[in-house]
């Protein structure tokens, strides 16, 4: 597969190297030749210097043959314009992902109908989770963290109770899987829990906070 990374800042350089290490063809675009110094010494992909909004630059990068393009410059406005330009002129590109740095600009990016990744919002969400309660571990984040999947260990307090007992009153939260002795299953609401089980739940921030509060109430002294 062929990928183009537009913007060779810290995110762009790291993303480019990760894709290259996984065996993909990668072209990195930046207006400054010095930006390519951020790339890992082992990187063997292509570097393309030029204006990212220029048809010539995108052509030299191989946009007409790309499977996916990530626009990760440090300007939200520029990312929106470049992303929209690519979507308009290169409909063959299957995935166009743009970076959102300033959460206040997120609505503007979404107005363009672009798939966005908000590194600031996502990072703040992770730090908040760890500060509040590290016992509920986030294992998957959908969108920009609006809905996430968490793993939690069942304590002795909940031994013998059911999935519905645990999740009742927690609002926007559903059980995704129950793992016992290394074997996962899709449990019914009436499935009994055992101490040591690992429960995987999908929840909004409000839902997981309600679950945390419930767990704190039942915390053993």
Residue 190 has pLDDT above 50, yes or no: yes
What pLDDT is recorded for position 49? 97
CATH number, domain with residue 43: 3.40.50.720
Say yes or no: 110 and 146 in one domain: no
Q: Which residue has the higher pLDDT, 124 or 76?
A: 76
Rounded Cα distance, 69 and 41, in Å: 22
12-45 burial, b if ≥16 CB within 10 A, otherwise e? bbebbbebbeeeebbbbbbbeeebbebbeeebeb
**Does the pLDDT at position 221 exceed 80?**
no
> What's the rounded Cα separation, in Å, for the pair 185 and 200?
10
Task: Report the alpha-carbon distance of residue 147 to residue 68 in Å, rounded.
Answer: 24
Please check whether residue 42 lies inside any domain of the structure.
yes
Tell me, what's the pLDDT at 201? Answer: 94
- Please say which residue of 74, 89, 121 terminates a domain: 121
Final residue in a domain of this structure, among 121, 146, 180: 121
Query: Are residues 105 and 82 both part of a single domain?
Result: yes
Q: 217 or 53: whose pLDDT is higher?
A: 53
Shared-domain flag, residues 167 and 116: no
Mean pLDDT, the chain, integer? 89
Q: Which domain holds residue 150?
A: 133-217
31 and 90 together in one domain: yes
* CATH number, domain containing residue 184: 3.30.70.1450
10 Å CB burial of residue 68 (0-12, 13-18, 19+) is middle
Chain segment 116-165, per-residue pLDDT in tens: 888 888 778 767 766 766 567 788 888 777 898 998 888 888 899 999 99
Residue 128 forms part of a structural domain: no
In a domain, 182, yes or no: yes
With pLDDT > 90 as the criterion, what percentage of the chain qualifies? 63
Share of the chain above pLDDT 70, in %: 95
138 shares a domain with 113: no
107 has pLDDT over 90: no
Residues 113 and 143 in one domain: no
CA dihedral 66, 68, 69, 70 (to 10 degrees): -160
Among the candidates 92, 121, 150, a domain finishes at 121
- Do 77 and 180 share a structural domain? no
Given a cut of 90, whether residue 215 has pLDDT beyond it is: no
Tell which wins on pLDDT, 2 or 115: 2
User: What pTM, to 2 d.p., does this model score?
Assistant: 0.67
Q: Does residue 17 carry a pLDDT above 90?
A: yes
């Amino acid at each position: 597969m062929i990928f183009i990374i537009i913007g060779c800042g810290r995110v762009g350089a790291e993303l480019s190297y990760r894709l290259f290490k996984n065996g993909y063809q990668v072209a990195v675009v930046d207006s400054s030749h010095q930006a390519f110094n951020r790339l890992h010494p082992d990187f063997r992909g292509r570097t393309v210097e030029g204006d990212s909004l220029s048809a010539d630059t995108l052509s030299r990068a191989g946009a007409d043959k790309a499977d996916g393009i990530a626009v990760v410059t440090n300007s939200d406005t520029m990312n929106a314009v470049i992303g929209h330009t690519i979507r308009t002129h290169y409909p063959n590109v299957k995935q166009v992902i743009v970076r959102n740095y300033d959460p206040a600009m997120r609505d503007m990016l979404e107005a363009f109908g672009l798939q966005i990744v908000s590194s600031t919002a996502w990072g703040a969400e992770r730090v908040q989770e760890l500060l509040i309660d590290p016992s509920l571990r986030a294992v998957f984040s959908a969108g920009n963290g609006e809905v996430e999947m968490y793993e939690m260990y069942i304590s002795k307090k909940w031994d013998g109770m059911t999935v519905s007992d645990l999740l009742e009153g927690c609002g926007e939260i559903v059980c995704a899987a129950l793992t016992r002795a290394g074997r996962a299953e899709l449990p019914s609401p009436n499935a009994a829990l055992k101490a040591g089980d690992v429960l995987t739940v999908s929840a909004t921030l409000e839902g997981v906070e309600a679950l945390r509060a419930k767990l704190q109430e039942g915390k053993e002294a």
